[in-house]
Structure formats: C-alpha cells, structure tokens
Structure 1
Amino acid sequence: MNLSVLYRGPLASCNYDCPYCPFAKRRDSRAELRADRAALERFVDWATRNPDDDRLSVLFTPWGEGLTRSWYRDALVRLSRLPHLDRVAIQTNLACRLDWLADADRRTVALWATYHPGQVGRATFLRRCARLTELGVRFSVGVVGLPDHLTEARAVRAALPADVYLWVNAADGHRYTAEQEADWTALDPLFGYSVRPHTSAGASCRTGETVISVRGDGTVRRCHFVETVLGNLYDGSYRSGLRPRPCPLAACDCHIGYVHLETLPLYEVFAGGVLERVPARLP
C-alpha cells in the first residue's frame, strides 16, 4: 500500500510574527519542546520500522517553524534514507541553515517554502533558495496573496529559476476583485484553485484511505480538518478505519486538504510532487 502521512506534532512556536498567522512569535516552553521532540522521534521510529510494510510518504505540517529545531532536520535526513520512503517534505519559512541537507538523500527530501515579506529580506530568502538549488533539493516557493505582497511576489518570481514553482495562497477572509485575481494568476496559474473554496460534501477524497493525518500522540484522522478519529498509529488500530469515504465537510479551502479530492485533477497536475507542491510540469 502507498500511504501518505501528514504529521503535525505539538510544536507551535515560530520565529516570525506574521500578522495573518495565529502562531506568530509564539514561544514553546522547554517542557513543550521536549514533548514535541519525543513525539517526533517516536514517529520517526515508527516510520523506520514500517510495521505495516507500506510505501510511505511524509509531509510535516507544524503549526510553528520546524527547521529551526534540530530534531526536525535530523528527522528529514533519517527518513530520506529509508528505502521504503518515497518522499519526505516539510512546510518551512527557510529561516535556518541549509547545509545539513547535504546529508539527506536528495532524491527523496523536499521543501515547501514560504516567503514572508516583512519578516525576512528578499535577498536573504533568495540566497537560501539558491543554496537549495546548489544542493539539488526539490522545493517550491510560495507567498500569501495579500495586496501588500504583490510587488515582492513579482520580484521573487523574476529572481527564481524558471523551473521553480511559485504558488500563491489566497489570504483568509480577503475578497479578490477580478483584476486582483488576474494579477495573482499571472504569477501562479493555479491560483484559481486557492481563491475559491471547493464544494466537498459527499465528494470522493483520498484522505482516510491512502492519506492520513497524524498528531503527536499518534491519533490518526483522515485529514487535519475532520476531527473524527480513525484510531492510533502506534497500536495499529487506525488500519481498520482506512477505506474510501466521502468528505463530510461542506467545503475545503486549504491546499493540503483539497489537493486530495478526487473531483479535482491535482494529483495529475502535481504528479510526483503532491506533498511538496511541485507540479509535474510548470503551468
């Protein structure tokens, strides 16, 4: 079986203070950081043992910034080397050193990077992207589609290599005029998938069958947005809950959710790069 795992541990601290993020500049206590590290190491041990003999792909989606913590860097290196693991990726702001990636299997590891204007200089962010290119690491770059970000997004798109995909996330609560949508679509031809929620009630979705969400304690849900528990990763009880099932929500408006809807063509668009948001062919 090919199983994609979206892992989110208790980590909630971030070094940035983006006004559109509820976890901006949040600080975890030492006890909370120890708990997050222990939870992540337990998950990596599970993936290494691979008790169910699956082909695995893993995306880390921490509430905070993971790569400023050594245990997330170590986890990506270790997982990338597993013969039964097809992809390991993480959502990150790139606010970390990157030389550790030289120890990872570059055929397997990938980064989903977000540029946050006002939190990091454009030149600094682009230098980090250039380092990823030098290391041969797969990555995508994105930005939140706020009006104040458009000029910076255009500059980053112009500076990035042509084969690096720049994605744009529609800003929560922001209504786009036709002109604004056209501006963002000129940068990201797939912006239309983000700008409007997708009707999902009763729709077929891969989550809960070949895609699962895992919390730090091993609790398994079909995705981050449906609270129904399927079981626990570590006692294997989740396995009996894996089956095709329709989405119970009225709509899905987050990429890590709607990308798995079978009513959308995004598995073909992102073939080979679903978890790291890298299209098979640049639009």
Structure 2
Amino acid sequence: MKLSILYRGPLSSCNYDCHYCPFAKVHETAAELKTDRRALEKFGDWISTRKQDRLSIFFTPWGEALTRRWYQEAICHLTSLDQIEKVVAQTNLSYNLDWIENANAQKLALWCTYHPSQTTRKKFLSQSQQLSQRGISHSVGTVGLPEDLEEIEQLRRELPPDIYLWVNAYKSSGKKYNDDTLKRFETIDPLFQLNTQYHSSLGRSCRCGSSVISVDGTGTIFRCHFMKEPIGNIYESDFESHLQESPCTNQTCGCHIGYVHMDDLELYSVFQEGILERIPFHYRQV
C-alpha cells in the first residue's frame, strides 16, 4: 500500500505569538505534553511495523512541533525506515538545526514559514541556508498580509532562485486584495491566486480518503483535516478497508493542504513529488 499520512497529534503549543493565530503563545501542561509524546511514539511504532507499505508522513501540528525533542527524534527514526519514502513537517525554523544531522536528508523535507513579526529576515534566511547546506529540500512561505508585502518582496530577492516562496492569502480577514497588491503577490508566488479562493469541492473527486489521509493522536482516520467524520483507525487490523475514493462532502476547500489533492485542479502535475512539502516540480530543475 502506498499512502500519504497527514499526522496531527494533540500538540497545540507554539513559541510564536502571531496576532492572526489562535495558537499564539499557547502553553501546555507537562501532562498534556506527555500525552502528545506518547501518541507520537505509538504512531512511530506502528509505522515501524508497516514494512510492506510505501509511506509518506506529513506533520501538520496546530503549533510548533520541531522545538520538541520527541518530534526531532521521531523524524530521525522515521527517515531511517525502508518503508518511508518521505517525512515532511511544517515549521517556523526557530531552533538549533544540529539534530537534523541524525536524519536521512534524502527522505526529509520541510515546509518553512517566515513570520516577520517574530523573527528577522536575516535569521530566517540563515536557517534556510543551513538547510540547503545539509541537503534538506524545503519550501519557504509566509502569510500574505498587505502590510508585510515589501518585506516579503525583499525575502524573495534574497532567497536563492531554486527555493520556492509561497504566499498564503489572509482570507480569514474577509478583506479583498486590491489589484496592485494582488499582482505583486502573484509576482512573488505565481500560484497565489489559487490560495485566495475557496474552491467548490462538493461532489468533486479528491485523493483524500484513499491515497491521502489525516490521522490524529489516537490513530483516528479522517479523509482530511477539514472533514470531521471518522472513517476508521490505523490501529485496527482492517483499517485499509475503509480507504476508498469518494466525492468530497464539504461545500468548499480553502486550504492548500486540502485543495492540492483535488483532482479538478490538477496540482499533482504542478508539484509532482514535491506535493507534501509544497515545492513545484520546476523549482527542482533550477
């Protein structure tokens, strides 16, 4: 079985306090962190038993996971397994990167978000450069706040041309981008227009639920992060029987990690093997 698993455990803490994020500076108790660690360890142990499969893992935490030792150790372990094709994680890069030396760089990729209000461009670019020096494939991105536009343009100028810079539209504000701002963001990220939309998804074909699934800390399977109906549990012996193609039951899909798997948008041809880490194929050719 070939499967991509989007793992999101109970961890919700973050060391940043971005004003638009509900998890800004969230702190968890020692007991809550222990619960998250045990859930991740159980998940890793299960992955170790799936020797006949070809698996890609995408860590999509509510907060920042890679500041936690158990996520670093899990990534290093998972990338050592033959059945693992790739391990990807969303991260803000706000930590020492030395632990990555213990991971298989050929199987690790990162989705790195720059938050101008939380760190400096110089520090973030230094971290990105260190990843490149270690042979870690990664994309860089940011939230498309109009007030940060000039800073994001400067980030694009200073990033190497082979690093894709994506921009997430700030849709939750309800405000529309004016034509000039929209054009400038599209110059930075040619795919930005796709992210400004809530794509009609009801009844449409999507790979989520068949070749791509979302899994929480208890092992419960959902078609994706945005559908709340469980379809099984990875710790059940027959969980594969619940994985099947079926049309989407949500009205719309507005997040990249969801709509990228919609067949109508044909984004698998754009990203190819960089689908999870959000790297379009042509950036691998620069």
TM-score range, shorter chain: over 0.9
Residue 164 of structure 1, CA deviation: 0.3
Q: Which amino acid aligns with 1:188?
A: D
Three-state SS of the structure 2 residue aligned to 1:227 is coil
The answer as to 2:185 corresponding to 1:184 is: yes
User: Quick check: 1:72 aligned with 2:50?
Assistant: no
Name the SS of the counterpart of 2:230 in structure 1: strand
Deviation digits for residues 191-241 of structure 1 (CA, Å, limit 9, x no counterpart): 011011111010000000000000001110110001111111111343221
Identity of aligned residues (%): 49
Alpha-carbon distance between aligned partners in 2 of 1:241 and 1:178, rounded to the nearest angstrom: 45
Amino acid at match of 2:11: L
Name the count of aligned residue pairs: 282
- Give, in whole Å, the separation in 1 of the partners of 2:252 and 2:239: 25
The alignment partner of 1:193 has SS state of: helix
Q: Distance in 1 between matches of 2:72 and 2:177?
A: 37
- Which residue of structure 2 lines up, in the alignment, with residue 220 of structure 1? 221
CA distance in 2, matches of 1:29, 1:185: 42
- The residue number in structure 2 matching 1:104 is 103
Matches within 5 A, 1:133-152: 133-152=132-151
- CA–CA distance in 2 between the matches of 1:178 and 1:87? 39
1:58 aligns to 2:57 (yes or no):
yes
* Deviation readout 1:247-281 (Å, 9 max, x if unpaired): 00111000000000011111111111111111111
Measure, in 1, the Cα distance between the counterparts of 2:268 and 2:54.
17
Other-structure match for 2:127? 128
Aligned-partner Cα distance in 1 for 2:256–2:234: 24
Shift of 1:65: 0.3
Q: Point out where structure 1 has 5 or more consecutive residues left out of the alignment.
A: none
CA distance in 2, matches of 1:70, 1:236: 30
2-structure distance, mates of 1:206, 1:236 = 22
- Once the two structures are superposed, what CA deviation does each residue of 1:140-169 show, in whole Å capped at 9, x if it has no partner? 000000011111111111111110000000
Whether 1:241 and 2:242 are equivalent positions in the alignment is: yes
Paired position in structure 2 for 1:39: 39
| 2:203 maps to 1:230 | no
When the two structures are superposed, what TM-score results if normalisation uses the length of structure 2? 0.96
Matches of 1:197 and 1:37, distance apart in 2: 34
Matches within 5 A, 1:157-196: 157-171=156-170, 172-173=172-173, 174-196=175-197
CA RMSD of aligned residues (A): 1.1
- Alignment partner, residue 253 of structure 1: 254
Question: 2:202 corresponds to which residue?
Answer: 201
Task: Give 5+ residue unaligned stretches, structure 2.
Answer: none
1:21 aligns with 2:55: no
1:272 and 2:273 equivalent? yes
Q: Tell me the CA shift for residue 178 of structure 1.
A: 2.0
Q: For residue 28 of structure 1, what is the amino acid of its counterpart?
A: E
Which amino acid is the alignment partner of residue 125 of structure 1?
A: F
